[in-house]
Structure 1
Amino acid sequence: MNQSIAYAILAALLFGASTPFAKLLINEASPLALGGMLYLGSGLGLGLARLIRDRGWKNPGIPTMEWPWLLGAIFFGGVLGPVALMFGLSYSSGASASLLLNLEAVLTALIAWVVFRENADRRIVLGMIAIVAGGVVLFLPTGEIGVTNSIGSLAIALACLCWAIDNNLTRQVSASDAVFIAGSKGLIAGSVNCALAWFMGDAFPPLATTGAIMTLGLLGYGVSLVLFVLALRGLGTARTGAYFSTAPFIGALIALTLLHEPVTSAFWIASVLMGLGVWLHLTERHEHLHTHKPLEHSHTHRHEYHHQHDHEFDWDGQEPHSHQHAHTEVTHKHPHFPDIHHRHRH
């Protein structure tokens, strides 16, 4: 299996698993405070991990031209998205909101294909449809498909649009430090949500429960997002979003065991649809003659055929390693994904 695909599926596994565990803690805090602590746990945990990894503060090395992409991603995904979702939840039923949240994968792919011209062949489109259909089927048995208020519907759709924009903007900086990117989002989103919860007078749980919530956030939101960013490097936005949209199925599967919820026919139908979608993506083969334009950037790499360059420093031969390097123009043919080296037009 392609390493980037493994990152995307593992990201979905961690995020999907966090939902049933969060359900066990839902009575310990308000939804806004709970969301804030989950994000804050992600930001603080990743920030500490980065300090330990780098033995102190280290400049993330994000190129000046990429900072607007990152700040835009943080604003849409870390600030505006969560606020829009919480507002929408106050006007909508839980089942309706869950159903509408499947819009994120669709909007992510549409923006990637239409705005950023990311390649998508028939197999990828059919796989996306199958995975999203599986997510929709999971919520059909509730009998509450309609949104109870159009304002709530629009707010939740806005949240999905914000996260779809976030995913596409994050792709533009995905070659940079994934831990820094995910940690920054967590810190800002967590601070905003916790501040809103405090302003609204929401009560916060005891210290021990807070620690459990923040640990869950570190794994389900923080580590998951780091893996998501790594997957973006190798798969592009639409394909990463498609694999990640299996998270509702993963969460449902864990809930069956953890919460002893009954198995429904919808669960098995969703399993088949999502399995079909993942299989369509796993068996994709995209190959054609393409040209790499001159490019200079920094990311972790090995010296395979895309990285045949000299070093301006003493290199000890260790791989993978990370440094600023330049790619010269080259034309060749091989199987590839729309990764950070293959963002060409078709």
Structure 2
Amino acid sequence: MNSRIGAAVLTALSAAALFGAATPLAKALLGSMSPFMVAGLFYLGSGVGLGVGIIARRFRRPAAQAATSHHFRKAEVPWLAGAIVAGGVAGPALLMLGLSSTPAATTSLLLNLEGVLTAVIAWVVFRENVDLQVFLGMVAIVAGGVMLSWTPGETGVSAGALLIVGACLCWAVDNNLTRKVSANDAMVIACLKGLIAGPVNLAIAIATGASLPSAITVGAAMLTGLAGYGVSLVLFVVALRHLGTARTGAYFSVAPLFGVAISLLIWPELPSTTFWIAGALMALGIWLHLRERHEHEHTHERMEHSHRHRHDEHHQHEHDFPYPGDEPHTHPHVHLPITHSHAHFPDIHHRHQH
């Protein structure tokens, strides 16, 4: 349990690091491209790159892929479509429009709202469990992000700032909708989002008068998108399976810290005292989350889904295909009703009411 959760936490933090690194690079690219062009190339790079990875994976183990392949269930399609529209089309477009007229420091400050809005929607709308320790951990992480990006003297809410707030709300909705399909192949989820969102944003860019930049700039943008939007989303979805939406969103909220660190590497200078205090607050929040122990008797209803798993206490099932005995593996399987008690997180198997 501890090693699995620890791996999930590292996965969420890795997703935050990749996304945080993409933000200052996006700001730099905006100097030569329209906001929609940047968003389109970022997501197109994500979709194409992950698509190549999926094809390569199939050729590497064709027999295993054929035996364990699965598709999204019909009931999951609306959730996936909503996530793609909110997070892959509306969110990036609003962010890029906001970035074009908003100082980088203000943008970093406002981006902290994504984690807050993600948690609020998870707790209020989807009834994900929360206790005082998790709430305080979220407060500490957000406080660190606010301190990290606060610029004294800046007042008022500009139109650009409102656009960035809108982007955060779109991504918060995206995160919670993606939770509903997170048991599926994370690479396929991220690839579909990229292949749909990329062309849509590019079409908007070209329709509004933008033109494609040089091949080198296009390649740089697509590679940045593959890492910061593609691989980052894959890792985020994997973390969602094990940690739930609010907790994954909290870990992801440390992305601004990585963004500032990347900026310091690109434009070297000594970190300020504020940077270290912000880092300490975020570390405190992560520590509070890691100390959480949620345990009570709970009942699992019958469930059928597909994801990567081992044959632990939640996965005692037969196989309807030749099974060589290797673990972990992926295939559609059924969970029979069971009542028991153990420490758990709101993962894909523990989304019960309290």
**Same fold at TM > 0.5:** yes
Counterpart residue number, 1:328: 336
Residue 115 (structure 1) shift = 0.6
Q: Distance in 1 between matches of 2:342 and 2:98?
A: 46
State which of 34, 37, 60 in structure 2 corresponds to 1:33.
Answer: 37
Residue 24 (structure 1) shift = 4.6
Question: 1:5 and 1:145, CA in 2 relative to 1: closer, same or farther beyond 3 A?
Answer: farther
Q: Distance in 1 between matches of 2:44 and 2:255?
A: 21
1:160-175 pair list within 5 angstroms = 160-175=168-183
Check the 8 A contact 1:97/1:147 in 2, yes or no. Answer: no
Q: Distance in 2 between matches of 1:141 and 1:266?
A: 11
Residue 92 (structure 1) shift = 4.4
Check the 8 A contact 1:99/1:145 in 2, yes or no. Answer: no
Q: Distance in 1 between matches of 2:30 and 2:100?
A: 15
Check the 8 A contact 1:41/1:218 in 2, yes or no. Answer: yes
Counterpart residue number, 1:99: 109
Q: Distance in 2 between matches of 1:46 and 1:160?
A: 24
Q: Distance in 2 between matches of 1:148 and 1:262?
A: 30
Q: Distance in 2 between matches of 1:137 and 1:72?
A: 33
Aligned CA-pair RMSD: 2.0
Counterpart residue number, 2:167: 159
Q: Distance in 2 between matches of 1:144 and 1:201?
A: 33
- Which amino acid is the alignment partner of residue 119 of structure 2? A
Question: 1:244 and 1:135, CA in 2 relative to 1: closer, same or farther beyond 3 A?
Answer: same
Q: Distance in 2 between matches of 1:202 and 1:266?
A: 39
Q: Distance in 2 between matches of 1:221 and 1:326?
A: 32
Check the 8 A contact 2:30/2:100 in 1, yes or no. Answer: no
SS of residue in 2 equivalent to 1:141: coil
Check the 8 A contact 2:93/2:201 in 1, yes or no. Answer: yes
Q: Identity across aligned pairs (percent)?
A: 58
> Is residue 181 of structure 1 aligned with residue 185 of structure 2?
no
Residue 257 (structure 1) shift = 2.0
Counterpart residue number, 2:92: 82
Bigger Cα displacement from structure 2, 123-132 vs 264-273: 264-273
Q: How many aligned positions are there?
A: 344
- Which amino acid is the alignment partner of residue 172 of structure 2? A
Counterpart residue number, 2:302: 294
Counterpart residue number, 1:259: 267
- Which amino acid is the alignment partner of residue 192 of structure 1? V
Check the 8 A contact 2:115/2:253 in 1, yes or no. Answer: yes
- Structure 1 unpaired stretches of 5+: none
Question: 1:14 and 1:89, CA in 2 relative to 1: closer, same or farther beyond 3 A?
Answer: closer
Deviations 1:19-55 (A, max 9, x none): 3344454434233322221111001111111122123
> Is residue 243 of structure 1 aligned with residue 251 of structure 2?
yes
Residue 323 (structure 1) shift = 1.3
With normalisation by structure 2, the TM-score equals: 0.91
Counterpart residue number, 2:216: 208
Counterpart residue number, 2:234: 226
Q: Distance in 1 between matches of 2:167 and 2:217?
A: 28
Question: 1:204 and 1:262, CA in 2 relative to 1: closer, same or farther beyond 3 A?
Answer: farther
State which of 108, 113, 124 in structure 1 corresponds to 2:123.
Answer: 113
Counterpart residue number, 1:341: 349
- Structure 2 unpaired stretches of 5+: none
Residue 243 (structure 1) shift = 0.3
With normalisation by structure 1, the TM-score equals: 0.93
Check the 8 A contact 2:70/2:332 in 1, yes or no. Answer: no
Check the 8 A contact 2:37/2:201 in 1, yes or no. Answer: yes
Q: Distance in 2 between matches of 1:276 and 1:19?
A: 24
